[in-house]
Amino acid sequence: MNKLLIIPALFLLGGCAKQNITKDETTPVKTVSKEETIKADAVAKIDGFINTIKPILMSSLKSDPTGEKGIDMCKASAQELTKDYNKKLPSNIKIRRTALKYRNVLNKPDDIDKKVMNQMIASKTMAPVMIETKTGYRVYKPLANMQPCLTCHGDINSMNPKTVANIKKYYPKDLANGFKLNDFRGVVVAEIKK
């Protein structure tokens, strides 16, 4: 009885193995286009940037959960951290942050940024997008408003009054408030020169 079962099982195994070999021979090798390589590299550099600033932001929130001191920290170091990170990158790639509703005018979006972000919101996509421009490429990685972000970008009326006062002091024209959990917050952009 056992032998009878083993023999068909071996045939099956042999069959499978043979099929796999045939498949491997006929499946064309997947070629990665130049664009895909540029995009993957840019996303890796954007992630590297996010992983640089996130722990600093989180440890600031840990020492002061109201966000009041974090506003000072962001005001003092967000731009510096971005500059320092860019210094370590090859000269043809530059990282920056922008948003439709921005806090710092230095992060104001240009027309291309606005178009891409509006498309992201309309299509509800949170996946990175690459576009080609006259001079190169841009890779956009969207950012969601997570719970900790609302400490400083949430509803003004629910935020700590001292944090709100601090925001108004440094950014009297602040647009980056009133967000809700998981709202589209903005993007990290990598610009790559051709």
Residues interacting with ligand HEC, by CB under 6 A? 57, 61, 67, 70-71, 74-75, 78-79, 97-99, 102-104, 107, 143, 146, 148-149, 151-153, 176, 185-186
Q: For residue 186, give the nearest of 99, 78, 74 by alpha carbon.
A: 99
Q: Are residues 186 and 99 in contact, defined by beta-carbon separation less than 8 angstroms? A: yes
* Closest distance of CB 153 from ligand HEC, Å: 6
Rounded-to-integer distance, Cα 54 and Cα 35, Å: 28
Q: Indicate the residue among 99 and 192 with the shorter CB distance to ligand HEC.
A: 99
Tokens of residue 44, six digits: 């890796």
Quick one: 62 or 194, whose CB is closer to ligand HEC? Answer: 62
Sign of CA dihedral 43, 44, 46, 47: positive
For the bound state, the minimum distance from the C-beta of residue 74 to ligand HEC, rounded and expressed in Å, comes to 3
| Residue 91: CB minimum distance to ligand HEC, A | 23
CB 97 within 8 A of CB 109: no
Structure tokens at 32: 């990665």
Closest CB to ligand HEC among 27 and 63?
63
Of residues 38 and 61, the one with the C-beta less far from ligand HEC? 61
- Using the minimum distance from each CB to ligand HEC, give the nearer residue, 115 or 169: 169
* Residue 52: CB minimum distance to ligand HEC, A: 13
Cα–Cα distance, 188 to 85 (Å, whole number):
13
